Structure 1
Amino acid sequence: MFNLHIAQNEKEEDEERRRRDDEARMARDSHSRRVIQVVAHICRPTRSKNLDRSRQQRGEELLDDYFVHNSAFPDTYFRHRFRMERHLFNKIMIAVCNHDSYFAQKKDACGAMGLLLEQKITAALRMLAYGAAADQVDEIARMGKSTILESLIRFCRAIEFIYTAEYLRKPTHMDLERLLKKAEMRGFPGMIGSIDCMH
């Protein structure tokens, strides 16, 4: 009976010692974790604050300038600035949006409406038409550099996928004849056989 009581006490002492060791180890781990977090926070490069580009306001202004009925700039300005007619722009825009949902306007994580389809397509086309840098397009479309480049890459992929079969193929014999006839009508009868002259 006495030995049983001693064994019971030793067992309780072992459990108490184990509990104190576990608490001490957890405290050390917790302290080490806090030190690592503080050091990581100090060493982490600071991220620049996001700019408020007033993207929704600029999107509405872009629509008012070029895309709505009775827009601020007439069709001749649109043709000059976008290097295509408005109806062709709209056709391409709808095809690209149907191909890649990235271009559709969506809400962001905060619930704010994102960029308009017209802003993304305009950014991509301005870079292609004028060889503009992303910073220059930012002033027009009010988009960040990474978003502009993403729009450009996705736009080019969509155009390649949608129009390769019809427009981006090698010219056939009939295409060459048609182009030669058109060139002759325009006053270039000597354009024979040169594929460079056909494009």
Structure 2
Amino acid sequence: MRLANDLPKHFEYFQQRDDARGHPGFTPTQKITAALRQLAYGVGLDMLDEYLQMAKKTGHDSLNHFCKGVILLYKRRYLRKPTIYDIQRIYEVHSERHGFPGMLGSLDCMHVGWAMCPTAWRGQFHRGDHPGPTIVLEAVASQDLWFWHAFFGVVGSNNDLNVIDQSPIFDDLIDGVEPPQAFFANGEHFKYGYYLVDGIYSEWGTLVQAYASPLSDKRKYFTKRQESTRKDIERAFGVLKKKWVILANPIKFWTREKIRKSSTRV
């Protein structure tokens, strides 16, 4: 609904106008829904004719204007890497909330089902432990659900290690153009921040894992705090899955939520 409010204010295409017959045209919500369904499911424009009574050209134009509009409106705030100010704010929040100074966020991967995967590509995106083709999403999320890194679309049967080997997450660090990330911890100065990860990742200096078999009380305490802090990325993935469910079955979802709230009040 925020998109439906913002796009018509800035772009004439999403404003409802009369057609050549003088009848009201498509509403902003209908055009945005057409674009989202194409992006989410890769559906052909013929399906929009049945679902939204929308012609191919209108569906194609809706997608183009939607993508350009989102980039122009939200790029400066969302579609970017953290600035020096953002990094310091992330450090302060994570240090105060989780007790991890210098933590940039939690890094993890998630398999996203690709129901409309072309038949010719299904073998490239199919793993044995999943019922159908999937796309691996690698993401970094902070405690406020900000996804400031997202990488997906790698071809092949992948896990977290295959994906990070091809990911651009450390390209700026290798090229020496990464913004300053210095911080202090226990009186020591560190030049770059780090990410919390699970046990599958390699032992790199920028990746902090929990102890596999902690024996001392200090290691047990650290492992407990590390695993609880990594719930940030799990919670962020959970929010994404919830949004996909709403997008896939909007009428069914809202009806179920209405029934649930009514029963709760009773």
Instruction: Bin the TM-score by the shorter chain.
Output: 0.3 to 0.5
Structure-1-length-normalised TM-score: 0.44
**Structure with more of its chain in strand, by fraction:** 2
Q: Which has the higher contact order (CA 8 A, sep 6+)?
A: 1
Larger radius of gyration: 1
**Structure with more of its chain in helix, by fraction:** 1
